[in-house]
Amino acid sequence: MTSPDFIHRFVPAEDATAAPLLLLHGTGGDESDLLGLGRAIAPGAALLSPRGKVMEGAMPRFFRRLAEGVFDEDDVKRRADELADFVAWARSEYGIAAPVAVGFSNGANIAAAVLLRRPDALAGAALLRAMTPLSAPEPVDLRGAPVLMVNGDRDPIIPLADAERLAGLLTRSGARVTRKVLATGHALTREDLEIAADWLRAH
């Protein structure tokens, strides 16, 4: 299998029982951004962390947007498929099981898009500050896949109604969605990490 050209980092597992994590950074992040978060919420798990390939100025992203909160949906689809192909390559290359995606903001949005297009690529997802990436996705069977969504009720970027729409879409597709709404904005908090860690231990 040919390697997709994602710059990435891989940290081998120290705990063979822990599910591997696919770490997906937000706009302007890179392949190192969420490694500390991954170690904090899943000690000993294998960590796979790619860098988004779309540049917005000097900021890496996982797909193009036309404006704040307005996505280039054709690019979303292409990039979600590309990321799913990368995960398939990484599973073969590094000998890991299907990972649980942990994404923040733009990374959470691309993780949601992968769930809605290539559900077999992931074992579940923790979506931190996600919004709906595709307005009318094709029907998909998520077969009870566990999904955590954590949003902030003061988030200036993501209206709660949009997050609720995504939660409904995932639920109707068969996912087991756990939703948390925090009294915070767009940035991650320690409570996010605690919620994600507890959710991962339960799944």
Q: DSSP label at 146?
A: E
Q: What is the pLDDT of residue 3?
A: 62
Q: Rounded to the nearest 10 degrees, how much is the dihedral formed by the CA atoms of 22, 27, 30, 36?
A: -60
How big, in percent rounded to 5, are the helix, strand and coil portions of the chain?
35, 25, 40
State the pLDDT at residue 68. Answer: 82
Three-state DSSP class for residue 89: helix
Q: Which domains does the chain have, with CATH numbers?
A: 8-202 (3.40.50.1820)
pLDDT, one tens digit for every residue, the chain (203 residues): 656 689 999 999 999 999 999 999 999 999 999 999 999 999 999 999 999 999 999 999 999 998 888 899 999 999 999 999 999 999 999 999 999 999 999 999 999 999 999 999 999 999 999 999 999 999 999 999 999 999 999 999 999 999 999 999 999 999 999 999 999 999 999 999 999 999 999 98
* DSSP labels, 166-197: HHHHHHHTT-EEEEEEESS-SS--HHHHHHHH
Residues forming beta bridges with residue 127, ordered by sequence position: 103, 149
> Which residues have CB under 8 Å from 133's CB, separation 6+?
63, 71, 73, 76, 80, 109, 110, 112, 113, 116, 166
Phi, psi (deg, nearest 5) at residue 18: -85, 135
Q: Facing residues of 48 across strands?
A: 10, 22
Q: Distance of CA 203 to CAs 1, 60, 188, Å? A: 30, 31, 22
Could you give the residue numbers annotated as active site? Answer: 105, 155, 186
- Is there a contact between 97 and 20 (Cβ–Cβ < 8 Å)? yes
Contact 50, 86 (CB under 8 A): yes
Residue type, 152: G
Of 85, 34, 83, 26, which Cα lies nearest the Cα of 56?
26
